[in-house]
């Protein structure tokens, strides 16, 4: 029940109190929640940037429709998907699996071949959209953990990925800015915090077949 109450508490914060910062201890908990996110095959085909630099965030604000959350929040989180999935990603995952589960990596070759065969059937566009969707699963864990910690957050799609890629040098790393979020603490001046939460009723949202 605590999770439901905390999710009822959270909202997409529009104005942050720039004087308040997320502690390093809480930031580690948020990182752990993201790390534990579900992902297809467990591959985690993304990388997350935690941006604290005021100067860098000022540059990114211009590529984020001028939204104040970018510079006012405690941290800006950029979820980046890998743009080209290859055998190295899969082999790296198999090596981690073998090490963490205490088994020979050769015993995982069948599963590795299965993943490679499925991924090779994807077009580059399909692969790009697949990996970008994975970042939203990780974003969901961030939002839930922030709510648990009573840290405000705002998921954001209102930005220009191409400009983010350029400013952050992502393309040369085989990465793309897929979705972003700001975290911190709400300002007393954010009037949206007092608005009732608007959601479809359960009987309209769900259908049992």
Cα dihedral sign, 93-77-67-199: positive
Other residues' Cβ atoms within 10 Å of the Cβ of residue 41: 16
pLDDT band at 15 (very low <50, low <70, confident <90, very high): very high
The pLDDT of residue 100 is above 80: yes
- Torsions phi, psi for 131 (to 5 deg): -70, -35
Q: How far apart are CA 206 and CA 209, in angstroms?
A: 10
48: left (phi over 0), alpha (psi -120 to 50) or beta: beta
β-strands 75-82, 46-51 pairing:
antiparallel
Q: Which CATH class is domain 2-85+125-188?
A: alpha beta
Closest CA to 15 of 141, 182, 177: 182
Q: What is the mean pLDDT of residues 97-119?
A: 97
The pLDDT of residue 1 is above 80: no
pLDDT band at 79 (very low <50, low <70, confident <90, very high): very high
Provide the residue ranges of all domains of the chain, joining segments of one domain with +. Answer: 2-85+125-188, 86-121
Provide the residue count of the chain: 209
- Order of strands, edge to edge, in the sheet holding 75-82? 46-51, 75-82, 175-184, 152-156
Residue 97: what pLDDT? Answer: 97
Helices and strands, number each (H, E), in the chain: 9, 4
């Amino acid at each position: 029940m605590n999770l439901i109450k905390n999710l009822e508490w959270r909202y997409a914060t529009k104005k942050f109190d720039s004087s308040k910062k997320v502690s390093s201890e809480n930031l580690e908990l948020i990182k752990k929640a993201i790390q534990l996110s579900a992902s297809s095959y467990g591959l985690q085909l993304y990388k997350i940037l935690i941006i604290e630099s005021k100067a860098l965030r000022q540059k990114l604000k211009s590529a984020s429709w001028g939204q104040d959350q970018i510079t006012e929040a405690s941290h800006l989180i950029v979820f980046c998907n890998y743009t080209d999935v290859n055998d190295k990603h899969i082999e790296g995952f198999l090596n981690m699996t073998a090490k963490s589960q205490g088994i020979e990596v050769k015993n995982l070759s069948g599963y590795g071949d299965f993943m490679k065969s499925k991924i090779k059937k994807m077009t580059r566009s399909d692969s790009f959209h697949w990996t970008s969707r994975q970042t939203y699963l990780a974003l969901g864990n961030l939002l839930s953990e922030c709510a648990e910690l009573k840290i405000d957050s705002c998921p954001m799609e209102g930005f220009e990925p191409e400009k983010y890629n350029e400013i952050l040098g992502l393309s040369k790393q085989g990465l793309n800015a897929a979705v972003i979020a700001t975290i911190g603490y709400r300002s007393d001046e954010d009037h949206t915090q007092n608005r009732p939460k608007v959601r479809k009723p359960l009987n309209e949202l769900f259908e049992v077949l």
